[in-house]
């Protein structure tokens, strides 16, 4: 039996494990939000970055990619990789995955999804909602072992565009981060 994994953040562009098939599509009743703190990839414990998680949102959809893994050895490798990579995500859900907006039946049922919950007892890196401007400034400044937090945001935006998906939250945030970076660059140029 195949194992399916849904990626809605960096798994879209950087898998890190072998897979047999990759299907673009969506899950229902969730939305992608930059509420998860990253102290191990895109930030540090002293200054966490922000990465995406999912929050329940009746009637909404979250676009991403589902990966099919069939070989037993590949399933083990994928789970080992994901348990380390997604260690700050404290929940796994098994959801229906759709590939066409008009479909009433899922293309795949039981797709595994890693979610960082808002429960501070089980997820001490949950940052939660914040004013849009504050989230953008945090993403501009944060940097961790995997690089600047803004690269994560820009890579996510580009990956979604390449798949033909629109996510207003991601696009608006990326646009605002670019404005902050441009203003910072302009101010630095004037000082020279």
Catalytic amino acids?
86
Judge contact between 101 and 63, C-beta under 8 A.
no
Angle between helices 149-163 and 168-191 (to 10 degrees): 130
Instruction: Give the helix/strand (H/E) hosting 82.
Output: helix 72-85
End-to-end CA distance of the chain: 62
Find where tokens 């009637």 sit: 59
Cβ-contact 52, 113 below 8 angstroms: no
Q: Tokens 């501070």 sit at which residue? A: 120
């Amino acid at each position: 039996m195949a194992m399916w994994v849904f990626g809605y953040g960096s798994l879209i562009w950087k898998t890190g494990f072998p897979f047999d098939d990759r299907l673009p599509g969506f899950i229902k009743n969730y939305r992608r939000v930059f509420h998860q703190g990253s102290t191990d990839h895109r930030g540090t414990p002293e200054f966490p970055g922000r990465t995406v998680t999912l929050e329940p949102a009746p009637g909404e959809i979250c676009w991403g990619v589902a990966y099919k893994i069939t070989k037993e050895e590949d399933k083990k490798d994928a789970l080992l990789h994901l348990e380390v990579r997604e260690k700050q995500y404290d929940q796994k859900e098994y959801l229906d995955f759709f590939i066409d907006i008009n479909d009433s039946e899922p293309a795949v049922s039981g797709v595994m999804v890693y979610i960082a919950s808002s429960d501070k007892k089980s997820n001490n890196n949950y940052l939660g909602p914040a004013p849009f401007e504050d989230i953008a400034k945090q993403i501009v400044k944060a940097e961790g072992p995997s690089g600047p937090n803004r690269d994560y945001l820009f890579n996510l935006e580009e990956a979604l565009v390449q798949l033909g998906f629109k996510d207003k939250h991601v696009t608006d945030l990326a646009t605002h981060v670019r404005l902050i970076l441009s203003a910072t660059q302009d101010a630095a140029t004037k000082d020279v």
